[in-house]
Structure 1
Amino acid sequence: MRPRFTLAGQFLALQLAIVVAVLLAVVGVSVAQADAQFRRVEGQAMLSVAESAAAMEAVRAGLSDSDQQGILQPTAESLRSLSDADHLIITGTDRRMLSSVDPREIGEVMDFGESSVLSGNTWIGVVRIGEKRVLAAHVPVIDDEGRIIGVAAAGRDYPGPVGQLATAAPTLLVYVGIASLLGVVGSLLLSRRIKRQTLGLEPGEITRLAEDRTAMLHGIKEGVLGLDQGDRVTLVNDKAAELLDLPGDAAGRTLDELGVAPDIRGVLTDEEQEPDRVVLMGDRLVTLNSMPLNRDGRNVGSVTTMRDRTDLARLQQELDLTRTTTEALRAQAHEFSNQIHVITGLLELEEYDEAARYVSTIGGARTRLSDDVTSRVADSSVAALLIAKASLAAEQDVALRVSENTELGSQDAELSADLVTVVGNLVDNALDAVRGQAEPWVEVELAGSDGAVRVRVRDSGRGVPPELVPKVFLRGFSTKGAERVYRGVGLALVHLVCSRRGGSVEVNGAEFTASLPSEASRRPPPG
């Protein structure tokens, strides 16, 4: 198993790597500087030696007269020894060496490199003599008539990298010691500071913690949104981004910059958070729970969880509808049971005429109610709902009546289901509002016009105060007590259904008006 370094070890290794890199750069610069200094100083020195050799009468005489060439070798070696040069070579214009440190090289052609000395110019540069690189200075030898008769070349052996490093070694050792000491001390201090800030966790542990948190954050079905003090998003998972319609780069941006609706933004940033607060987000019904984050007694933000309750709310409404129908049937059964007892008693008393009159009376009332609803409402689902609600209202001593302006034809299955949801919730809300009043009543009006169905439900209650109207649908408003877990779901669901169909719902005191466009009116125009 590969050993893992601690945070201090990693910082130390990093600092040492930086120190080594800096030292390598220093070495490179030092070598370059040493090389430049060597070329400048030794080049001038060798140029002086070569100029001295070119000015000697013995050298001129040896180059002018072939019989006197023998004087060149001792003369050059004598001058070389006095000047401490490594090389002093005399050549003719044919570049053949007439003197050399190594007598075996006499007569060989000298490599002039890029020298322009035969053109009458002095030159300093690097040439190769045998196997050695030499810093050489070339000076032309000129006779009394101004002709170039040869070349005097003085040279110093070029030191290699080891020699240059040896020259710079004392300075480099000082640099290494100081840099290493500073690197070790700095690494230890930095490691201690960072470990205090990371609660003693090592980098690998922080990485695993972050990976686990990311996997958990994006794996849960609930939305999670984190905000700081400036309402800036610190974390958001996929579900929260979907519900709030946030872009992929939402982290680090404020809710204003992300275009979050003002009512939703107000709920997310409200300091006094209620548990299980119901909010409409687009076409979804969402329950929010927010928890403040405190650090050292200071509020540094909040984390909000979001649960999509749309499907659950629909199921709840379907169950409420089933319960309403059951209660209506139970009320009717109770009523029919009493009526049967009355009829049975009249028959036992042989009051046949009274029994016939009683049957006619109760049958006519039931028939008139059914006929009144079915004659105005052709949609069977909505008509059945109104009849069931009328029986439930009668059991609560509430008069439920259908407005004379009601006229509704058959609707498609989707609109019929939405009408059942809207009418059922508005009627239930009205029945709750008039409970306990003297002579309470609820009136329902249904009418289809201009490609939409208008639902109007009003009651004898006190209505919604004007200051609460903006909150009725936006935040799941309810006038009921706090004993219900999902407060205000009914009205929020009405708003959700209407909004999804492109309609609207409004409240004016004790009157709720909803508009639901038909499917045909919602289709885009052709072409």
Structure 2
Amino acid sequence: MASNPQEGAAANAPVPLTRDGWSFAARIFAAQMLLVIVVVVWLGIASYQQQARVVLDVRQSTVATVSTTLANDPFVVDALQQPDPGAGLQPYTQDILSHAPTIDFITIMTPDLLRVTHPNPAQLGKRYSGSTAQALRGQVYSEQAVGTLGRSVRTIAPVYAADGTLVGMVATGITLESLQVLYREELPQILLVSLFALLLAGFTSWSFSRYIQSATLGFGPHGLRRLYAFYFSALHSVREGLILLDRKHRIVLYNSEAARLLQLPAQTPSGGLELADAGLPDTLRELMAGGRAARDEIHLGHGSVLAVSQSNARLTGTQLPGRYRLPLRWLRVQPPTGQVLTLRDLTEVQELTGEVQSLKTFSTALRAQTHEHANRLHTIATLIENGSSDKALAFAVDDRQHSQALTDAIVRNIDDVYLSSLLVAKSAQAHERGVTLSISAEGVVRPDTFHATDIVTIVGNLLDNALDVSVGTAESTVWVEVTALEDEVIIAVADSGPGIEPEFLENLLRFGVSTKQGSAPRGLGLALVQQAVARLHGTMTIDNDAGAIFTVTLPVPPKEEHA
């Protein structure tokens, strides 16, 4: 039986990154609530026991005071010396009990422990069942004991006559059953306070767990670890450089490609990396500090050409899997803000572009020469047809000698085939555009002294800029001077243009700064020239003398380095 293609596709589909089990927030909330419940219950029990001890101590003090007071009452002392002490003392103690609800019984007895007063009249004349040894020795004694009314807290005090004779004892007490009633009266207050503490702690724990829920996007510990592993792998596996900046424009994260392109530390510092301490090129630092959006802007790095894009880092518009919605706006986590910067290395592309531009220059020169030679051939042919063969011959010889003289003057001093070919081609291009290209060379530039791409980038861009500004001027002239010394080569390019305004001189070599008009991105040519000069460990200066003068000084490497 053939399997269902849809089932096979579903089986091979990638598993989405979802949350499994309890989220991190749910775990924290459960742990906090368990701890809160345990603490609240423990505090409730401790409060109840403490309150019970307080009530017991108060009642113990009360019965001790009553016993001591009655033992020193003259009426009680006189009554115990009468033949029938109970006749006067029983009504007396009953009256006290009726006005003292905190006392359950008052028992007055004779020295031989016979009760003369008791709440239960049936117990009158019977022997007292509590401890009396201490009272018989003249001590006031408190205890918990089981009597006729049940277990009670009592205090027994001796009663002495005026001559010091023991005439009886007074025992006053309160039953534990009555104390339990008093304890239960305190219980609602304890429960109310415990419930309030539980609700307050629960709400605080819930609020914090909701914050954690939003901050961790609902993932549990395992999900967060897996998410971090996936994102970390993706961060360092992409070929583009990636840099993350926080709200304060500090670099907080970057991958290995970004570290290579911008020469950043291998590991991101724990507190982030300040832009001023990162050693970034000026244009990149200004882009990061400004926070503006950018898309495929060309910037120069440390020996590389970079396509840079920048956007704000936000979660808005991105729906991640979630289970809950937070109803309270003030508890929500604000979307993480900052900047995301991507870098693409275009160095190889720019090198290829330079080579293509060189070929284009050569082809343009050939086209110009072909066009000019065609005109000259037509002229020679017409002279021959008109019978002026001598003039045709003289014209052809003079043109050949002029062209050969220019080529010989360049090749004689410049053995570098790329530089000499470029100058010859630019001479033809300048002639076509109506500009005179004056070339002078002194010394000898050895072949392959410099990398072809670098020398074409430097001279080609400087000549292109000079030709652009010289077209239509009064002199319409561009001067190129190549001076080859033993240890360095000096290339100077001057034009007959209007020169460079002073405010442009300082920033002219930066990308995006140009004296040309237009909406297209400009300033890349001179920036590439500067980069090539820096790659060859040279220098470049700019001066104004009617027109602009660019002077490039390149050190000549030893023969073994360019052989």
Measured against the shorter chain, the TM-score band is 0.5 to 0.7
Identify the residue that residue 373 of structure 1 maps to in structure 2. 410
1:231 aligns with 2:249: yes
Residue type of the partner of 2:473?
Q
Q: 1:506 — aligned with what?
A: 541
Q: Does 1:202 align with 2:219?
A: yes
1:497 aligns to 2:516 (yes or no)? no
CA drift of 1:393 comes to: 0.6
Deviation at 1:337, TM superposition (A): 1.2
C-alpha distance after superposition, 1:296-326 (max 9, x if no partner) = 9999543322222221111111100000100
Structure 1 equivalent of residue 499 of structure 2: 463
Q: Superposition pairs for residues 276-295 of structure 1, below 5 Å?
A: 276-292=296-312
Q: Residue 208 of structure 2 is aligned with which of 190, 196, 205?
A: 190
Match of 1:475 among 496, 511, 520: 511
Percent sequence identity over aligned pairs: 31
Q: Distance in 2 between matches of 1:348 and 1:176?
A: 123
Q: Alpha-carbon deviation of 1:283?
A: 1.3
How far has the Cα of 1:438 moved from its partner? 3.5
Supply the distance in 1 between the matched residues of 2:240 and 2:290 (Cα, whole angstroms): 20
Larger displacement relative to structure 2 (488-497 or 468-477): 468-477
Structure 1 position 291, deviation (Å):
2.6
Amino acid at match of 1:495: Q
CA distance in 1, matches of 2:217, 2:534: 52
- Going from structure 1 to structure 2, the CA distance change for 1:294 and 1:230 (only over 3 Å counts) comes to same
1:515 aligns with 2:553: yes
Deviates more, 1:443-452 or 1:183-192: 183-192
Letter in 2 for 1:469: L
Distance 1:186 1:273, change over 3 A: closer
Counterpart residue number, 2:264: 246
C-alpha separation between the residues in 1 aligned to 2:23 and 2:308?
42
| 1:430 lines up with 2:466 in the alignment | yes
1:427 Cα offset (Å): 0.8
In structure 2, C-alpha distance between the alignment counterparts of 1:498 and 1:428, rounded to whole Å: 17
Cα distance in 2 for partners of 1:393, 1:334 equals: 14
Q: How does 1:349-368 map to 2 (within 5 A)?
A: 349-368=386-405
Give the letter aligned to residue 479 of structure 1. Answer: T
- Give secondary structure in 2 for the equivalent of 1:326: helix
The TM-score with structure 1 as length reference comes to 0.62
- Mapping of 1:122-201 within 5 angstroms? 186-195=204-213, 197-198=214-215, 201=218
Contact 2:380 2:396 in 1 (8 A): yes
- Structure 1 residue 446, shift from structure 2 partner: 0.9
- Aligned to 1:394, what secondary structure does the other structure show? helix
Q: What are structure 1's unaligned runs of at least 5 residues?
A: 27-82, 84-169
Letter in 1 for 2:31: L
- The answer to whether the 8 Å contact 1:285/1:310 transfers is yes
> Which amino acid counterpart does residue 443 of structure 1 have in structure 2?
W
2:31 aligned to which of 14, 18, 40: 14
Structure 2 residue 485 is matched with structure 1 residue 449: yes
What do the CA deviations read for 1:443-479 (whole angstroms, capped 9, x no partner)? 1111122511111101101222222122222325333
Q: Does the residue aligned with 2:490 lie in a helix, a strand or coil?
A: strand
Shift in CA distance, 301/200, structure 1 to aligned 2, threshold 3 Å: closer
Q: Where does the alignment leave 5 or more consecutive residues of structure 2 unmatched?
A: 1-18, 44-130, 132-186, 317-333
**Aligned equivalent of 1:222:** 240
- Cross-structure match for 1:386: 423
Q: Assess if the C-alpha contact under 8 Å between 2:261 and 2:301 holds in 1.
A: yes
| Contact in 2 for aligned 1:476/1:491 (Cα 8 Å) | no
Question: Residues 416 and 448 of structure 2 are in contact (CA less than 8 Å); yes or no, is this contact kept in structure 1?
Answer: no
How much does 1:261 deviate?
5.4
Distance 1:294 1:176 in 2: 43
Q: Cα gap change, 1:483/1:265 in structure 2, threshold over 3 Å: closer, same or farther?
A: closer
- 1:319 to 2:356 alignment: yes
Name which of 445, 452, 456 aligns with 1:420: 456
**Retained in 2: the 8 A contact 1:223–1:238?**
yes
CA deviation after TM superposition for structure 1 residue 217, in Å? 2.8
Q: What is the alpha-carbon distance in structure 2 between the residues aligned to residue 200 and residue 378 of structure 1?
A: 67
Residue number in structure 2 paired with 1:143: none
1:371 to 1:412, Cα distance in 2 relative to 1, 3 A: closer
Q: 1:280 is aligned with what amino acid?
A: L
Check whether the contact 1:408–1:446 (CA below 8 A) recurs between aligned residues: no
Question: Secondary structure of the equivalent of 1:519?
Answer: coil
TM-fit CA distance, 1:391? 0.4
Structure 1 Cα separation of the partners of residues 335 and 515 of structure 2: 35
SS in 1 for 2:275: coil
Q: Is the 8 A contact 1:278 1:285 kept in 2?
A: yes
TM-score (normalizing by structure 2): 0.58
Give how far 1:275 is off: 4.9
**Pair 1:342 & 2:359 matched:** no
What do the CA deviations read for 1:320-352 (whole angstroms, capped 9, x no partner)? 000010011111111111111222222222321
Distance 1:284 1:3, change over 3 A: closer
Cα shift at 1:281: 2.1
Partner in structure 2 of residue 34 of structure 1: none
Aligned-partner Cα distance in 1 for 2:481–2:399? 26
* Aligned partners of 2:355 and 2:453 also within 8 Å: no
Aligned mates of 1:473, 1:309 — CA distance in 2? 19
Q: CA deviation at 1:406?
A: 3.1
Assess if the C-alpha contact under 8 Å between 2:24 and 2:216 holds in 1: no
Residue 153 of structure 1 is matched in structure 2 by none
Partner in structure 2 of residue 304 of structure 1: 341
Say whether the 8 Å CA contact 2:507–2:513 is kept in structure 1. Answer: yes
